Chains A and B, each alone.
Chain A
């Protein structure tokens, strides 16, 4: 008899908060500055320097806590996590241990609203610097610009059941963080990082299996692939009578596999203790309420609202709302009078495809909601054809000219004048006797050919609907 195995997954997401200055000093958090130019005695951990908590980072943490439906700690305290590494200037990280700023939260999945991913804790901490090993074989360099950047660690319970679920949770979490405007969630720049704890167990078993911690996954897709690999590895191991050992493993995208980084025995004892340089403080309830009041509409609520106020399908709305900027664009175009269905079709079709193809985002694409609304108007008034519109869309995005301006400039106006079209039709009928005869003998395919010929003669500008209608009339 074969035993079926099921995976149990928990995710740890580190997200850099988009504050202007670092969490315990006033140095800039800007990405890509000259190495070691955004540093001071505090973030370098110089002797005698002391940390002071950044109010904005604390506020961002509260926003996330509320956005993830967490309970918020009454007293905020920090702890020191002690370990030695050259990217850690003080050889301890100021973090939160036994009292994370928020706990007991939840994220509801969109694909299956009955599935709720429980969030165990959300805590604030400082980021470390960055080691650069590629300069020389004999030494490494360290850039402390990142040291002290505010980080939020968001940890789920071990309740995620598949790599797909993990992927969806991450997508929704990212969506919520972008809606809250607390982070740019840019994985390439490291402002969002994800580690996973994964174990497998026989179906029906309630005890957790031995887990591996998976690191070095640089995209949501890598998380999915890494988890899938690890599930198979652990399952194969158990099925062949082996045992999973508790360890930290690295995902290697090139070989699409995981390998041991360190075993449980090599795990650190972080010697956590309360950070004496930061005084624990009460979270004033009025302040918490004011943050709650100022929370923006979050993806789930927006989805419900758009489902109720538009004729779009659930699938369409789910995709539209995931990225706040896309959803904002959608609503702006609708507000300008464009029909929701048309806006959605354009956004989810040609625009998304063009964005993906060019590696752009909606806000640096060049197209405005006004342009899209105008384009849709031009189609529905019959001024341009759908096919022409596709060209105009791309050109509008590139040239910043509005669709109307482009139509004028390029003389792309669609020919809807019946007289003009009839004269073209007559020319085509005169020159294609065989097709005309075929059509009249019942070969309906011949009509398509004749329409094509008319379109060709009009250089694509004739309104295809009118061509179709008039051609049938003429052919009797």
Chain B
């Protein structure tokens, strides 16, 4: 394993081109490293997505509106990382408030994909995925509301896991959509994802949505054997419009697992086609409320206060939020408005239930479900910025898992003709991360995609 100094050196070498880091305090890292480190992740550098609170460190969600904000507390996951002996290795870039799939909505500018720096790394946890992919850190934390861990992991050729909703405490995760957000690991390989999840998972009395379960050592699930495992293949996820290279790579990966002794069964998730529409009602609605607190009164940016309170609010938010944040606040405010609530928000909740039922039914026939993580590989910077609908569709395969609350992992499963990474998504039953790890680990140990390094 590389020393933390070697990782720091790597950051110095490549981050000028990748731009994954938005804040790194080398002094603090050295000081931390000097203290004897013990624990499950002793001395392991972990990069933190900029929407996770780290005591005394800038935490901005890549938004101007949180400029200068340094939380007086650690997120629960950060607390747990410290306790495990991990080295907190700075804050990494993201789409503003996690609103995006490309890292382009960040107030710091986009992070680059290590496999092709003219392309986006995915998002919103693009900084986390790019930092791991380029070897700047072995591990990073991301957050996933509609695919924000799995999609950038796929596009950067690394492993990304969104745990079951409630497995990881959200305390200190700056909320985007509270009923969908979940923190998870982004790592170079499946074993590291299991290690990192083992550290961050567990009940937290400060998060009412975290589930009371006893601690699990997920590394015990790293079993190289899928014999007897039934894999569901949903026909709705292998459709026209997918990049043929992606389709080919994922199908090849499924064949690999079959060769290892797994069975496959065709399944249907009929309501998944409504998932993106449903998500873009629920997520912005919650976001519009969650972002209400950024008003310039207590912390972060304060706009011009010379013309009174209302104008101060208005100026703060006009200058503080980027275009995508404004778009989502408007969408969410509209769909919660009196007279529209039933037609939009309530309807979306019903669709959400249907989508969840689809998975419950499907898992009667299979243990895991495999789909492409994304319909295409990484696109070019600027390509979809002015086409939000096309941008939103990059999460078409990842969103359903957030709506249903089930876990999903993306593992590297090949490359396109342009040598861009392709990710395979494995979805599991609620709280059955173990089976995901088993399937992902078996696949990884029988292939070498995860060993490929980006040409930096």
Give the interface of A toward B (CB within 8 A): 41, 44-53, 80, 82, 84, 86, 89-92, 142, 269, 271-273, 276-279
Contact = CB atoms under 8 A, between A and B. Distances in A.
Contacts of A86: 295, 297, 309
B53 A271 contact: no
Contacts of A90: 292-293
Interface string B407-440: 0000000000000000000000000000000000
Question: Among A47, A49, A52, A142, which residue has the most Cβ atoms of chain B within 10 A?
Answer: A47
A48 B209 contact: no
Interface in B229-249: none
Contacts of A273: 285-286, 289, 336, 341, 345
A122 to B, nearest CB: 22
Given A46-B299, A48-B71, A80 B289 contact: yes
A46 B73 CA distance: 10
A271 B171 contact: no
Given A47-B66, A142-B297, 14 more contacts: A41-B71, A41-B73, A45-B293, A48-B175, A50-B207, A50-B208, A82-B289, A82-B292, A91-B293, A273-B286, A276-B286, A277-B208, A277-B209, A278-B208
Contacts of B345: 273
A41 B295 contact: no
Given A273-B341, A276-B179, A47 B293 contact: yes
B183 to A, nearest CB: 11
Nearest to B69: A47
B455 interface: no
A46 B61 CA distance: 13
Contacts of B44: none
B337 interface: yes
Interface residues of B, number: 43
B329 to A, nearest CB: 11
A45 to B, nearest CB: 5
Contacts of B289: 80, 82, 92, 271, 273
A51 B293 contact: no
B313 A84 contact: yes
Nearest to A281: B208
Nearest to B173: A48
A84 B293 CA distance: 9
Contacts of A89: 293, 298
B178 A82 contact: no
B293 to A, nearest CB: 5
A273 B207 CA distance: 19
Given A86-B309, A89-B298, A92-B292, A47 B53 contact: yes
Contacts of A279: 208-209
Contact of B295 (A50, A52, A82, A84): A84
Contacts of B171: 48-50
Contact of A269 (B73, B174, B205, B338): B338
19 contacts: A41-B71, A41-B72, A45-B293, A46-B72, A46-B298, A48-B53, A48-B71, A48-B171, A49-B172, A50-B170, A50-B208, A50-B209, A82-B336, A84-B295, A90-B293, A92-B292, A142-B297, A273-B345, A278-B209
Contact of B174 (A47, A84, A92, A278): A47
Interface in B290-343: 292-293, 295, 297-299, 309, 313, 333, 336-338, 341
B253 interface: no
B161 interface: no
Contacts of A278: 208-209
B75 interface: yes
Contacts of B17: none
B151 interface: no
Contacts of B341: 271-273
B206 interface: yes
Interface of B: 51-53, 59, 61, 66, 69, 71-73, 75, 170-175, 177-179, 205-209, 285-286, 288-289, 292-293, 295, 297-299, 309, 313, 333, 336-338, 341, 345
Contacts of B178: 276-277
Contacts of A91: 292-293, 295
A48 to B, nearest CB: 4
Contacts of B66: 47
B174 to A, nearest CB: 4
Question: Among B59, B71, B177, B205, which residue has the most Cβ atoms of chain A within 10 A?
Answer: B71
Contacts of B286: 273, 276
A209 to B, nearest CB: 23
Nearest to B72: A41
A44 B297 CA distance: 11
Contacts of A44: 298
Nearest to A46: B71
Contacts of B177: 276
Contacts of B207: 50, 52
A47 B285 contact: no
A82 B335 CA distance: 13
Given A48-B173, A82-B289, A271 B206 contact: no
Contacts of B293: 45, 47, 89-91
Contacts of B309: 86
A76 to B, nearest CB: 12
Nearest to B59: A47
B63 to A, nearest CB: 10
A41 B175 CA distance: 14
State the 7 A-B residue pairs at the shortest beta-carbon distance, nearest first: A91-B292, A276-B179, A276-B178, A271-B336, A47-B174, A48-B172, A48-B53
Contacts of A50: 170-171, 206-209
Nearest to A139: B305
Nearest to B338: A269
B69 to A, nearest CB: 7
B333 A53 contact: no
Contacts of A269: 337-338
Nearest to B178: A276
A49 B51 CA distance: 12
Nearest to A78: B208
Contacts of B298: 44-46, 89
A52 B285 contact: no
A48 B52 CA distance: 8
Contacts of B205: 52
A457 to B, nearest CB: 77
Contacts of B338: 269, 271
Nearest to A85: B309
A33 B166 CA distance: 37
Nearest to A42: B206
Nearest to A142: B297
Contacts of A142: 297
B173 to A, nearest CB: 6
Contact of A52 (B75, B206, B292, B336): B206
A130 to B, nearest CB: 14
Contacts of B288: 82, 271
Question: Among B69, B297, B313, which residue has the most Cβ atoms of chain A within 10 A?
Answer: B297
Contacts of A53: 208
A272 B337 CA distance: 8
A80 B290 CA distance: 10
A91 B174 CA distance: 15
Nearest to B333: A271
A80 B345 CA distance: 14
Contacts of B172: 48-49
Contacts of B173: 48
Contacts of A48: 51-53, 71, 73, 75, 170-175
Contacts of A80: 289
A186 to B, nearest CB: 29
Nearest to A47: B174
A344 to B, nearest CB: 51
Contacts of B206: 50, 52
B67 to A, nearest CB: 13
A418 B69 CA distance: 90
